[in-house]
Structure 1
């Protein structure tokens, strides 16, 4: 608000100068002057004097560059000569504006301006009293909208004098734009010193634009209006340089470079090279503006990665770039006498470059939307534990195909955007496409292995041979599928190593994770084991595992004992089997081992273990002999030496 008041004070000083201007000439003299200016002889004499005052073009300066240099030099000389006329012309314009208002019974313009601003501030104050203050962009823009709306109602409801209407409209618009810029700066994450200097700079620019806009309606000569703009530009240049030195934490050489760049931009503007001037402004300020707009747009969405978040953030940035391109095209179009407009090739390249920027922005926007959708779909399809097998298989299929589709889409978007950009720049893309086709055939003959890998990968995907997350084995390679490229598959071995295998090297693929898995294992028990009792206990274990909250959903068929597999040297080998979801059989088998051991031992079923029998029929002879040997060793140790 303090900067708004400062800006308002500056405007009031300007209108005070209007009020203090000398009294206008009498109406009779003005009518006489108008009558003389309409006389044909007087007009012919003025035209001859105008042509005599135009600098002649020498034969050596017939080139475009020489003509532009001569015109620029003449313009600079004329503006420099018009600077001393600023006070007089300013006073005359103030007199005309004041006379236009007072002669129709209105107050001086600066009083009308102050009254309208006071009315807007009162309306804004009342709005703030009845509304909840929010430190967001909308919360800061709403009071400014009330302020502008209150002034607009009164401004358009009253039939102001012509000159007063122009002056009020220019300065009120400048004041409103200044406050809108201040609201954006306060909503953005900008340090207070930089924000205050930016507001001061914007205030000076707004005042300069409004002053230049009312020059022609108030009868100020164009050269004097340009001289006033040049004086404002010097003030703006000084403020910009001071802002760089006071707020930037960069090194001294960087600050010197920015200062030199600003000075060059000012010289470019003085030479009426407006297109080049705005390109320099964009190079300097557009990255920071895009970052600020992106942060402001992100405040309107809770999830920047969602479709709505990408649409808002990327859309806002694309809109800023489109507005910048449109403004640059308008500036170029409104300056037909600039040096660049004289060269048709340069004009074609300029407009082609602008169209290319828009094409790249649109391509990037569409690509970001598509990539965001693919990334979100990949995140959603990761968790398949709570789904039925059909839905889980469908999600696994998505996880397999979406990365390939994303890569292919990126290539298509990049190629199409590149071709359209080349076409806008004047390049004939027909021969380029034909040459690329011939070059592609040559590359195809020279890289048959690469073509084989790509085509093999396409058919593997069409056959749905494997998906991301499945465990496969092909030749000497086995592991979990982690991802794809256009020519290879990445396998993670269960011990950690990663294999990157070209599709052409896979051959027959053994998929160990598709649909269901039958897991079989064996347990050896003693020869005295009751087989029927073991079968019933196993059935009980299978029922308990099936009813478990964690393990039950992983079973397709419960654990069962198939029967006696064989008679081993130390016991009876029993065979067990169960059907589970892919990838979880090892985990379930460990749980089954623990349950079977616990139940078998609790019910007197012992597990077989290797034994060795020494001697013949006397099974206790070995033990007696060992005991005798130990007794003899003990007596020998206690005997006296």
Structure 2
């Protein structure tokens, strides 16, 4: 505690002395000669004394600072300075250590103040940006990464300055050479922070643009846009990461030209050695940007069938009806069968017995269609009335009437199952036979059109002696 009061008194007296001590005036020989002549003349000397007395009476007393009267600094400062000097010498420290300690303390206070102001400014700007985020339908954390970089840059710069000030104080106390100025290190840190902020702004800006486009244009809020957006973000992330590393390495003094040349050679080698991977990427770009399939489509790729769950530039992931996940590389894709592109058709193949009237069956189907499209649960799923294509073929045990429903892209199966149920109920009500596979034995006809009698012969095997009773 005594050391603290000594330090405080020394600081206040030093500041007061430096603030009140006048600068040393320049000596003018003519003025000094005139002053000597005045002092040698009795009358002039007496007049000068009278003027000095008048000036003393007219000069107001200087106000003494409150803290000086409280601690009686003028009286205590010389003694405290002597004690403090003896204390510093007792620890083997140079007399200039006190000035270095004061400089270190002021530096730390200023750095902490700057760090606090930097953090407060970043949080203030982040909060003020919330109004713009809400008005433009951006994510709540959009552009927050820029302010995080600002805060972390402030932490690093503060750490460097405090570290340099600490080394300066230690070097002064030990009489060693000072560390070289942190200018180059600070320059590198600020450059890296600036690069991070610029690339973060590009990343956040592209994502904000995509979010604004989705909000303002409802037609863009589709599975195609949701399919392309992750690919755009992945490509942008890879490009920004590579460019950031190149700039940072260049700023750190590393020659990146050999790295670029080596990367080019490595890329060529990888291109030759991984032709399948390159083929996957190129085919993936073609499939995605030509809109052959989207997330949420039901597709058939080769012998794999399922719902598209994930698309990358290299592969597509399908989930089958039983939950099985199929991963198909784009390099293996030759034909894509999209069952839900814009709309779908459900094909009905209605088989009836040969004895049934085809026109009657078609009339029943049309009646069912009118009732079906009036049902609120299915009216929105059906895009057009039932289209009866007519008698399609003759099977072994039935005649097949083909029809189709135009439905929403993912509703074809729901519509088909429900309409099949209603067909079965209507046919049972009207006694229209839906035959099952069976065979009819035909014995032929004579020229008069009469069928001959069936020649049925029953034979019984003769029992052997062993089987006889």
- TM-score bucket of the superposed structures, by smaller chain: 0.5 to 0.7
Question: Residues 598, 443 of structure 1: CA spacing in aligned structure 2 closer, same or farther, 3 A cutoff?
Answer: same
Pairs within 5 Å for 1:215-226: none
Partner of 2:237: 410
Give the whole-Å Cα distance in 1 for the aligned partners of 2:340 and 2:350.
25
CA 1:39–1:500: 2 relative to 1, 3 Å: same
How far is 1:331 from its partner?
Answer: 6.5
CA distance in 2, matches of 1:509, 1:343: 66
Please state which structure has a larger fraction of its residues in helix. Answer: 1
Find 2:406's aligned residue among 554, 565, 579.
579
Q: Distance in 1 between matches of 2:112 and 2:281?
A: 47
In structure 2, the partner of 1:320 is 151
Matches within 5 A, 1:236-635: 297=127, 307=138, 309-311=140-142, 313-324=144-155, 342-343=179-180, 347-368=183-204, 370-371=206-207, 391=219, 395-568=222-395, 570-609=397-436
Seen in structure 2, the aligned counterparts of structure 1 residues 547 and 276 have a Cα distance that, compared at 3 Å, is farther
1:275, distance to aligned residue in structure 2 (A): 13
Q: Does the C-alpha gap of structure 1 residues 365 and 455 become closer, same or farther in structure 2, counting only changes over 3 Å?
A: same
For 1:45, the equivalent position in structure 2 comes to: none
Q: How many Å apart are 1:412 and its aligned residue?
A: 1.0
Q: Which has the larger radius of gyration?
A: 2
Give the match's secondary structure for 1:405. Answer: helix
Q: Secondary structure at the match of 1:351?
A: helix
Cα deviation code 1:260-313 (max 9, x no counterpart): xxxxxxxxx9697799989x999xx99xx79x959x949967979952632464
- Structure 1 pair 442–457 and aligned structure 2 pair: CA distance change class (3 A): same
Partners of 2:237 and 2:150 in 1: CA distance: 22
Task: Give distance in 1, aligned partners of 2:62 and 2:130.
Answer: 48
**Aligned equivalents of 2:108, 2:314: Cα separation in 1:** 48
Contact 1:307 1:369 in 2 (8 A): no
Alpha-carbon distance change, 40 to 342 in structure 1, aligned in 2, over 3 angstroms: farther
Q: CA RMSD in A?
A: 5.2
Q: Is the 8 A contact 2:281 2:313 kept in 1?
A: yes
Q: Give the TM-score normalised by the residue count of structure 1.
A: 0.45
> Is contact 2:387–2:404 with CA below 8 Å preserved after alignment?
yes
The CA distance in 2 between the partners of 1:566 and 1:482, in whole Å, is: 38
Q: Secondary structure at the match of 1:551?
A: helix
570 and 545 in structure 1: CA distance in 2 versus 1, 3 angstrom threshold = same
Cα separation, 1, equivalents of 2:425 and 2:215: 41
The CA distance in 1 between the partners of 2:342 and 2:281, in whole Å, is 27
Kept after mapping to 1: 8 A contact 2:195/2:244: yes
**1:473-492: per-residue Cα shift (whole Å, max 9, x none)?**
23233322222223222222
Change (3 A) 1:557 1:352: same
Q: Please report how far the alpha carbon of residue 440 of structure 1 lies from its aligned counterpart in structure 2 after TM superposition.
A: 1.8
Q: Deviations over 1:523-567 (max 9, x none)?
A: 233444333232222112223333444433333332233333345
Residues paired across the two proteins, number: 360
Within-5 A mapping of 1:177-216 = none
Cα distance change of structure 1 residues 311 and 584 upon mapping to structure 2, 3 Å threshold: closer
Question: Which moves more between the two structures, 444-453 or 296-305?
Answer: 296-305
Shift in alpha-carbon separation, 1:456–1:574, aligned structure 2, 3 A: closer
Q: CA deviation digits over 1:412-440, x for unaligned, max 9?
A: 11111111111221222233323322222
Distance 1:316 1:427 in 2: 28
Instruction: Name the CA distance, whole Å, in 2 between partners of 1:489 and 1:470.
Output: 11
TM alignment of 1:26-45, pairs within 5 A: 38=24
Gaps of 5+ in 1: 1-13, 22-29, 42-98, 103-107, 111-162, 164-214, 228-268, 382-386, 618-641
Structure 2 distance, partners of 1:470, 1:363, is 35
Instruction: Give the 3 Å change call, closer, same or farther, for CA 508–573 of structure 1 in structure 2.
Output: closer
Q: Would the aligned equivalents of 1:322 and 1:358 in 2 still touch at CA under 8 Å?
A: no
Q: Shift in Å at residue 589 of structure 1?
A: 0.3
Alignment of 1:75-114 (within 5 A): 101=63
User: How far apart are 1:467 and its partner, in Å?
Assistant: 1.8
Contact 1:457 1:487 (C-alpha < 8 Å) held by counterparts: yes
Matched position secondary structure for 1:363: helix
Q: In structure 1, what is the Cα distance between the partners aligned to 2:66 and 2:393?
A: 113
Q: 1:511 to 1:308 in 2, by over 3 A?
A: closer
Deviates more, 1:369-378 or 1:419-428: 369-378
Residues 569-588 of structure 1, C-alpha deviation per residue, up to 9 Å, x if partnerless? Answer: 55443322222233321111
Show the counterpart of 1:146.
Answer: none
SS in 1 for 2:222: helix
For residues 63 and 391 of structure 2, the distance between their equivalents in structure 1, rounded to whole angstroms, comes to: 115
